[in-house]
Amino acid sequence: MKNKFLSNILLTFVWVALTGDFSFENYLFGFFLNFHILWLITVGRKRTRYFLIVPKIILLLLNFLYELVKANIEVAYEVITPRLNVTPGIIMVPLDVKSDIGITVLANMISLTPGTLSIDVSNDKKVLFVHAMYLKDREKFIRGIKDGFERRILEVLS
C-alpha cells in the first residue's frame, strides 16, 4: 500500500510539473488521475488495499465536511437568534473502535464539529464522554456518532 501511495504522489508531482499549473485544484486532479491510472494498470492482478482504502478515506472526509457545515449553521443560527434553544449535556458514547488511532480520530472529529466536545475516554477504551450543545434525544445523538463518524473510521481502519 505504501508503494502505491508514494507512486501516486510522485506521479502527481510529475503531472503538476508537466502542466505548469501549481494550483491546489491541479494537484487534486493529478492525484485522482494518477489514482485511476494506477488502478487501471493493476486490473486483473491482485488488488491492493490502497485502491480500497482511498475511496473510504474520501467518504470519511466528505462526511466530516458535511457534518462540519451543518453544525456551523446550527451554531451560527443559535448565536444570531434572541432566544437560547440549547439543551446541553454530557453523554457516554459506547465505542466499537478499539485502536488508539481510531479513538483519537473519532474524538478529534467530534471536537472539531461545533456544538460538541470530546471530554475523555474511559480507561478500558469502551466509552467516550462527549459534551453536546443540543442533546434532546440521547439515543439519536449516539446513533448519529456511531452510524456516521465511527462507522466510517472503522471502514478505513479495517
- pLDDT at residue 1, as a whole number: 56
What pLDDT score does 46 carry? 67
Sequence ranges of the domains in the chain: 2-41, 50-157
Task: Tell me what pLDDT residue 35 has.
Answer: 86
- Residues of the chain with confidence (pLDDT) below 50: none
87 neighbors 134 (Cβ within 8 angstroms): yes
Question: For residue 48, what pLDDT is reported?
Answer: 72
R_g of the chain computed on alpha carbons: 20
Read off the pLDDT of residues 39-71 as tens digits, 9 standing for 90 and up: 888 776 666 777 888 889 999 999 999 999 999
pLDDT of residue 47: 64
Hey, what's the cell of 66?
458535511
Helix, strand and coil content of the chain, in percent to the nearest 5, comes to 65, 15, 25
Would you tell me the crossing angle of helices 2-19 and 50-80 to the nearest 10 degrees? 70
Whole-number pLDDT of residue 86: 86
Give residue 64's pLDDT.
Answer: 95
